[in-house]
Amino acid sequence: MAKARTQFICQSCGAVHNRWAGKCDNCGEWNTIVEEDPMGGIGGGPAKTPKKGRPVALTALSGEIEEAPRIHTGISELDRVTGGGFVRGSAVLVGGDPGIGKSTLLMQGAAALSRRGHKIIYVSGEEAVAQVRLRAQRLNAADTDVMLAAETNVEDILATLAEGKRADLVIIDSIQTLWSELAESAPGTVTQVRTGVQSMIRFAKQTGAAMVLVGHVTKDGQIAGPRVVEHMVDAVLYFEGDRGHHYRILRTVKNRFGPTDEIGVFEMSDKGLREVANPSELFLGERNEKSPGAAVFAGMEGTRPVLVEVQALVAPTSLGTPRRAVVGWDSARLSMILAVLEAHCGVRLGQHDVYLNIAGGFRISEPAADLAVASALVSSLAGIALPADCVYFGEVSLSGAVRPVAQTAQRLKEAEKLGFSAALLPSGSAELPKGSGRWSEIESLPDLVARIAGS
Ligand code: TYD
Ligand code: MG
């Protein structure tokens, strides 16, 4: 047999190259291509005889299907994000920056599950058992029956897991430390991580245990190593947050057994993570109501309404090319709003720097924030503070029209609950609640500018 040629695999995207190069053609990353053994992890054993499967008619299955069997943690912010608890036999990847609190979250989850009588095994490849215990003590979890193991070798881990009573949930912290004897490349490479994750997923499917895999994220926000890991697992959760703030957000980006776009909000304290049941109160906590350039956006995160403050600063520039800086929102979307303001409202911003910030380090992806952003911008430019008791939402089109968005009633209900008595929203919005609020509909951005200027 001819000697297998080595391959060169990009550690960022997993693309295979025939020769080494400084830059990966596939993803454009520099210095990510590493030589690996092509047989690694694929198993060069003897060919096995194919086994015939038996396709089943979809209709024949009716009646037998139940809801996916789930394990509830009782931590409602965590259960919300997973869609009602961890699903048995499935694999969940929890990604996040180093030090953001992944191990803390999972230790608390493990303790909560253990208290409910589930068998949990926590495999740490990064910390010794004594260190994990120390953390558990700080989290008031040391009195639970969570089993700890400090292993990094995939075969050893599988042997450990196979021993004793079947586990209901296994936590692997983290996938970057996994290495297998089947894969010949160095620990930490794509092949090693992929092989390790594959073995863990197979174990979960075979035994019906729920598998939670922890993955570190690189500085550009990807799970370090292969993107392919995200495709292999059933659900991907990101744990994120701003280092300057003490709250953390757990966000679903993929979920085969539940909704995506859900968030769970936690606050980091000296006793670990605390659930935040009403995030709007947290995000609106530091408001300065009288200053121009601030507008409260009534947003939706999955099924839950969240109110956040959009802050804008528009100031004359001394530079040839004015600055546009955005934190927490899409910069392309800001450019669009600025262009619409210039083209349809006669608002000249070519000689102004524009800074946009979402308060508290929160990140918004909804286009419904357009109206709040436009309001904050116009308010800052005009030097006129917006009414403190008003919320804003609506999508802005390129023609300057303000378009209706989904879940109007829920947004308004949340605003009322938090003491807001007015709202500026798109005309033609359905389902306006009857409550006591003053809901004003607005047709276009020129109307908005006239309204703010006239106030
Ligand atoms: P950790 O869970 O180790 O992060 P990760 O596993 O994502 O790398 O969290 C570490 C950070 O959390 C560290 O900066 C200290 C902080 N922390 C607290 O503030 N309170 C606590 O009770 C614990 C356990 C950690
Ligand atoms: Mg950790």
Whether residue 38 is annotated as binding a ligand: the answer is no
| Cβ proximity of 123 and 155 under 8 Å | no
Q: Is residue 63 part of a domain?
A: no
Q: How many domains does the chain have?
A: 3
CATH assignment at residue 371:
3.30.230.10
Q: For residue range 427-436, what is the model confidence (pLDDT) as tens digits?
A: 988 777 766 6
Whether residue 97 is annotated as binding a ligand: the answer is yes
Q: Are residues 134 and 178 in the same domain?
A: yes
Q: Is residue 53 part of a domain?
A: no
Q: Is residue 433 part of a domain?
A: yes
Give mean pLDDT, residues 48-67: 74
Q: Are residues 316 and 260 in the same domain?
A: no
> What is the C-alpha to C-alpha distance for residues 358 and 372, in angstroms, rounded to an integer?
11
Q: Are residues 291 and 259 in the same domain?
A: no
> What is the C-alpha to C-alpha distance for residues 113 and 316, in angstroms, rounded to an integer?
56
The neighbourhood of ligand 2, an ion, using CB within 5 A, equals: 103
Ligand 1, atom 12: closest residue by C-alpha:
101
Q: Is residue 334 part of a domain?
A: yes
Q: Are residues 387 and 425 in the same domain?
A: yes
| Cβ proximity of 375 and 443 under 8 Å | no
Q: Are residues 237 and 370 in the same domain?
A: no
CA distances for 18 relative to 33, 34, 100, angstroms: 11, 11, 37
> What is the C-alpha to C-alpha distance for residues 242 and 249, in angstroms, rounded to an integer?
9
Distance 426 CA to ligand 1 centre (A): 43
> What is the C-alpha to C-alpha distance for residues 350 and 347, in angstroms, rounded to an integer?
9
Q: To the nearest whole percent, how much of the chain has pLDDT over 90?
A: 56
Q: Are residues 327 and 269 in the same domain?
A: no
Which domain, by its residues, includes 427?
282-453
CATH assignment at residue 246:
3.40.50.300
Phi then psi for 149, rounded to 5 degrees? Answer: -145, 140
pLDDT of 41? 46
Give mean pLDDT, residues 144-168: 92
Q: Is 104 in the pocket of ligand 1 (CB under 6 A)?
A: yes
pLDDT of 160? 93
Whether residue 46 is annotated as binding a ligand: the answer is no
Give mean pLDDT, residues 385-400: 95
Of 216, 245, 277, the position where a domain reaches its end is 277
Q: Range with the lowest mean pLDDT among 79-93, 154-168, 220-234, 267-281? A: 220-234
Q: Is residue 64 part of a domain?
A: no
Q: Is residue 108 part of a domain?
A: yes
Q: Are residues 91 and 34 in the same domain?
A: no
Q: Is 196 in the pocket of ligand 1 (CB under 6 A)?
A: no
Give the pLDDT band of residue 44 (cuts 50, 70, 90).
Answer: very low
Q: Are residues 265 and 289 in the same domain?
A: no
Q: Are residues 217 and 272 in the same domain?
A: yes
Residue 250 has pLDDT above 70, yes or no: yes
Give mean pLDDT, residues 287-306: 88
Compute the residue count for the chain: 455
Residue 98 has pLDDT above 90, yes or no: no
Q: For residue range 176-234, what is the model confidence (pLDDT) as tens digits?
A: 899 998 887 777 778 888 899 999 999 999 999 999 999 987 665 555 555 678 889 99
Give the pLDDT band of residue 43 (cuts 50, 70, 90).
Answer: very low
Give the pLDDT band of residue 35 (cuts 50, 70, 90).
Answer: confident
Q: Is residue 209 part of a domain?
A: yes
Q: Are residues 155 and 237 in the same domain?
A: yes
Give the pLDDT band of residue 1 (cuts 50, 70, 90).
Answer: very low
Q: Are residues 256 and 367 in the same domain?
A: no
pLDDT of 42? 47
Q: Are residues 318 and 379 in the same domain?
A: yes
Q: Is residue 181 part of a domain?
A: yes
37 or 149: whose pLDDT is higher? 149
Atom of ligand 1 nearest to the CA of 104: 2
Q: For residue range 312-335, what is the model confidence (pLDDT) as tens digits?
A: 999 999 888 999 999 999 999 999
Whether residue 102 is annotated as binding a ligand: the answer is yes
Ligand 1, atom 16: closest residue by C-alpha:
101
Q: To the nearest whole percent, how much of the chain has pLDDT over 70?
A: 91
